[in-house]
Structure 1
Amino acid sequence: MTALAPATAADGTIRLATVKVRHWKLAISLGIATILLFLLFLLVPRGGVSTFRLSDPTSSIALPNVSVPAGPTMWGVLVLLVLLTLWAVWDAWSYRRTGIWLPIVFGVLAIFAFLTWSAASAAASVPVTSLLFGSLSLAVPLIFGALGGVIGERVGVVNVAIEGQFLLGAFSAALLASITGNPFVGLIGAMIGGVLVAFVLAAFSIKYLVDQVIVGVVLNVLVAGLTGFLYGALLVPNEEALNRPIRFTRWEIPVLGDIPIIGPVLFNQTFIVYLMYFTVAIVAWGLYRTRWGLRLRAVGEHPQAADTVGIKVNTSRFWNVSLAGAIAGIGGAYFTLVSVPQFTKEMTAGLGFIALAAVIFGRWDPIRATLAALLFGFATNLQNLLTVLKTPIPSEFMLMLPYLVTIIAVAGFAGQIRGPAAAGKPYIKG
């Protein structure tokens, strides 16, 4: 990576000189992951055969199970991981930026090697389709929350209140879908709930210049207490009428849903998942290809410059934070309209903070943040699979696995990243 630094010439004039900087973070992270896998395979060897089940009973096209010899496969993949690590080291040494493909390929291979070790000589096989389907399902609310976080921080407001937007969205969706018997009404209610939390965040941080992080944390606590109180006072005594939401059912897309492995995972889903596909695409396109996205990024990077060309900075921040709240609210609706048949106290279990970590890991980019959310969803679902396979890993470690992956991802694989320059900084005109 290169950077410009001032340098004084012999005649006393100041010129910009190119300074090359090596970034070792990715190479070091890949090296640590490779060493950990090496120690795992060496100290806890497992032989026999590992079986991967590529089809489930609902698959239109049945694929045969794939069995691989555990030992040779694990060590063969480990050699490939060493080569990819050396590639990252060479890129860092040569001042080159490593493409995003390398950590993705490394991650896929590392997961394959780890699953091979886990399933060695196990009575159960690795259900690939179910593993991917569950991972996507767990990642859906994280993706909506991450998109809301990306929009908020890109416009200059740190959205720490994603957890509160999830909770109020889930509560509103359950309540309205139960009353009306229509999940779409519940979805709209969830969006309104997310907007309400975002409205308070925007009002205090933009108009009254209160620290954005403090406001977000307080809102999370406030919404948790409010929904907990309403759950006990309103939903529990009237559970049949107010806490039995009509949920979205799966809609299989013809032809696409019959594609082996990925068909049932991607194209036999509920309306909210299809809405997620559209939302990711439209936010990614709009952020970089439209006037709205240009203005949003300008306000988040250099509000003074945006103000001089006629952009109303605080107004733009206010409405975009509200939009971010509506998107995060959809993530809250997923809890009660898809995954769980009713609302319970603090049912989001801190996933709003995982979504915020996905924003950082994804470098404030919609596509990267989506990939980060998918990674966290996979880590959560992997915890359940490891229990079924009866691996010799302590259960306590499996419970902390999703959060461990979050810490490693943000601290290591994110590299040296810089968020929007004006994120978290109030703008005072004049």
Structure 2
Amino acid sequence: MPAGSWGRSRLRTALFFGLVIGVFSGGVTACRQAASPPGDRPPGPEAAATSAYRPKEDRPTIPAVEELIPRTRFAQIAKAVAPVVVHLKTVQELREESSWLHRKPNEAFFRRFIKGLLGLSKDPVMKQDGVGSGFIVHPAGYVLTNFHVVKHADEIRAVLSDEREMRAHVVGQDSRADLALLRLEGEGPFPAADLGDSDHLESGEWAMAAGSPLGLAQTFTVGVISATGRSHLGITSRENFIQTDASINYGNSGGPLLNINAEVVGINTAIMPTGHGIGFAIPINTAREFVETVLRDRPIQTVWLGMEAIIPMPGRTGRDGVVLQSVQWPSPAWRSGLRAADRIIRVDDTDVRDAAQLRRLIVEGGIGVERELTVERGGRIKEIRVRPEEWPARIFP
């Protein structure tokens, strides 16, 4: 993962994880007054008053907010979801040898001899605390969170909404997707979250983020879905993020992003520290595949084609497929003949609407399963057969 200053929402003592810097330019909206055509006279005061102050019954009717969403709806969501939200506390042990013992680092025997002579059987230990969030996805006590929350943890403790505290351990992880599945070491059964469908999210939908920002457990913030399919952020190796303006801070990582029906649609993962109201969440459908793989005790494999970035074609509708911005070399996509600027219209017999759907169609087939892509290149339509492979960790760690 590239180094930089993208902030992940996790609080640590004297240590923050950095991500790639994203440079965004702000838009400026200018208002201007249209000039009257030559010879036209501006409307008089009476005409202006008539147009500006129409009777209320003549105006379009907009339903009151209470008619669309009850005033207490978000309070109801918070109350319903609180039992599944988990506050995670981690401890990492850092062992440091005295600097004078490192003056000759290649002389291991000398260091062991001096330690024994001075009675230093163990290196000095420093403990580093961290906090994060998670949520229960199975009554047996399985908790979904971000990999970076528990990456270096030697001890994990989970605090539930009823203030019960218990140990937890990692049962599965995928560093490239930044996902981890924990198991609570307490007596169940536990309440489990309702998972929604992240494939059909639309910009402007209500969204609620839950978790422990800055260590403040059981915090809920409200916003909207700002965008979907965000990539090129340098956060993970595989990016298809939901963007939201629901407030996310350090410590929110791993917590649920909820829709208006109290269903989890994403996992709060990262923020843009130099901006405001710009947070990112992993789609729950991506996480669902990971959880099912771990619970079925299957090896975690990453389907790889080598199409580094897939973006919607500017100025086109969803029916027109998606465009490849670049293709990695060497990769299955490159060997099959795919190139940058190719427009993928169809996978087998399914029309491609967006990048998220294309990825899902490829992943669903699995490793080694040949897929037929209908591609437009230079105004001509051609069929290209591709066979996904497993992610080559030795080439792209």
Q: What TM-score range do you get, normalising by the shorter chain?
A: under 0.3
Select the structure of larger CA radius of gyration.
Answer: 2
Q: Which has the higher contact order (CA 8 A, sep 6+)?
A: 1
Give 1 or 2: higher helix fraction: 1
TM-score if structure 2 supplies the norm length? 0.22
Q: What TM-score results when the alignment is normalised by the length of structure 1? A: 0.20
